[in-house]
């Protein structure tokens, strides 16, 4: 089954031109935050689908194991049935040799014994025929269920491949969004806007935290950048104090 590669981020510190007005910076923060939050929500939805797929995979594996075990058991029953058929044929042949032709019984007791043997053999044959029909019916049912299992497995593989492609594309979008935001956040205007204790805690001081985040997997980096953007964005909504 396909595996998903871990995407490591490469920091691109772009030269970001100074923003002329605080309103422009505020709008850019809000826009970047909205875009990133939307991408993270999409990633969470896909990850939920992936967890569901993994649950289905475990169920399919259990089903495949049970079907294989059932087939092994049925094969053993077929082998036992075939051995019984061979013994029955041998018994019928011996009966014919003793009770028919040149070796026909001469006394009444011997005739009765032969007839009883024939009745017993016929009863055994009927029982074996019934058993054969039951085994064939079980095999037909098992074959149908195995074909259904194979179809389910093929369907699972297709959906897993499609989901893997979606996750990889979304990780690519997140990587692009992160790299843009690293350049934006490293700019002087944004760094100067980090003022509140909450923003300082979320963003850190200087570009060191940005460089450290860029070496993390996509999801961890997105959490850092979104946390920083949210903290700075909340500064704009905070009431102004002072006289």
Could you read off the pLDDT of 120-166 as tens digits, one per residue? 877 888 888 888 899 999 999 999 999 999 999 999 999 999 999 99
- Which pLDDT does position 214 carry in this prediction? 92
- Which pLDDT does position 22 carry in this prediction? 81
pLDDT beneath 50, residues of the chain: 1-20, 102, 104-105, 242-243
Q: Is the dihedral of CA 83, 89, 94, 95 positive or negative?
A: positive
- Which pLDDT does position 8 carry in this prediction? 38
- Which pLDDT does position 89 carry in this prediction? 82
pTM, full prediction: 0.73
Q: What are the counts of helices (DSSP H) followed by strands (DSSP E) for the chain?
A: 6, 0
Q: What is the 3-state secondary structure (H, E, C) of 23-36?
A: HHHHHHHHHHHHHH
Q: Where are the domains of the chain?
A: 22-237
d(CA 190, CA 232): 9
Q: CA 5 → CA 91, 144, 174, distances in Å? A: 66, 37, 14
Q: Which two tokens stand for residue 70?
A: 């059932």
- Which pLDDT does position 163 carry in this prediction? 98
- Which pLDDT does position 115 carry in this prediction? 66
d(CA 174, CA 223): 11
């Amino acid at each position: 089954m396909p595996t998903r590669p871990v995407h490591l981020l490469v920091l691109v510190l772009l030269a970001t031109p100074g923003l002329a007005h605080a309103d422009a910076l505020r709008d850019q923060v809000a826009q970047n935050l909205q875009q990133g939050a939307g991408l993270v929500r999409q990633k969470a939805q896909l990850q939920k689908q992936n967890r569901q797929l993994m649950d289905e995979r475990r169920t399919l594996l259990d089903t495949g194991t049970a079907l294989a075990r059932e087939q092994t058991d049925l094969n053993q029953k077929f082998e036992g049935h075939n051995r019984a058929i061979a013994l029955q044929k041998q018994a019928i042949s011996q009966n014919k040799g003793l009770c028919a032709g040149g070796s026909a019984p001469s006394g009444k007791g011997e005739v009765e014994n032969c007839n009883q043997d024939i009745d017993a053999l016929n009863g055994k044959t009927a029982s074996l025929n019934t058993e054969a029909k039951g085994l064939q019916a079980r095999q037909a049912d098992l074959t149908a269920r195995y074909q259904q299992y194979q179809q389910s497995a093929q369907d699972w593989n297709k959906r897993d491949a499609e989901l893997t492609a979606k996750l990889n594309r979304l990780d690519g979008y997140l990587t692009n969004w992160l790299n843009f935001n690293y350049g934006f956040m490293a700019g002087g205007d944004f760094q100067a806007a980090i003022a509140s204790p909450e923003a300082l805690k979320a963003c850190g001081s200087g570009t060191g935290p940005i460089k450290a985040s860029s070496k993390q997997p996509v999801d961890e980096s997105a959490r850092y950048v979104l946390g920083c953007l949210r903290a700075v964005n909340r500064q704009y909504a905070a009431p102004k104090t002072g006289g």
